[in-house]
Structure 1
C-alpha cells in the first residue's frame, strides 16, 4: 500500500475533528501519539500524528492512502484523499 504525507498547521485532535465533520464513512481511533482513520469495513486509509512544522511550531503529519489494488482499495484511496481534502486549508508548504 502506498501513502502520501502532508504537514498540517492543526493539532492531531483538530485534524481528527475536521475529518469527522467532512468525511463520511470514517471511523477514528486513538493510536500511539495520534489517530488512525478506517473505513466502516476496517480498511486503514490514514493516520495523523504530532509533527514539528518547518517554522518550528507544533502541527501534525497526515498520512493518507493513495494506492489502488482492488475495487475495495479504490474506495480506500478515494477516502484517503478525502482525509487530505478535509484539512486542505491548513496544509503547510515549505
Structure 2
C-alpha cells in the first residue's frame, strides 16, 4: 500500500482529511519533538479507531510534513508512491496525475 493510499484510507475511515488531523495533532502539542509515536497512535486509535499502520503514516506526516523519502518514489516496494509529496487536502481535491 502506498503512503498516499494510507492517507486516503484514513480519510475514508475518519471522514477528515489528513491536513485536518495533522492540525488536531498540532493543537494537542503532538508535533513537539519529545512526543512519542505511541502517544499519537493511542490518540488516533481511541478517537478514530485507526490501526497502528495507518496511525504511523499520520505520525510521519505530523513529524515530517508531507514530504516522503525519494527512495519510495517510483520504486517497486510496498510503500511506493508516484510523488515525493503527499496530498493532505483530501481525495476529492487531489489533482489528477
TM-score by length of 1: 0.31
TM-score by length of 2: 0.30
Which one has the bigger helix percentage? 2
Which one has the bigger strand percentage? 1
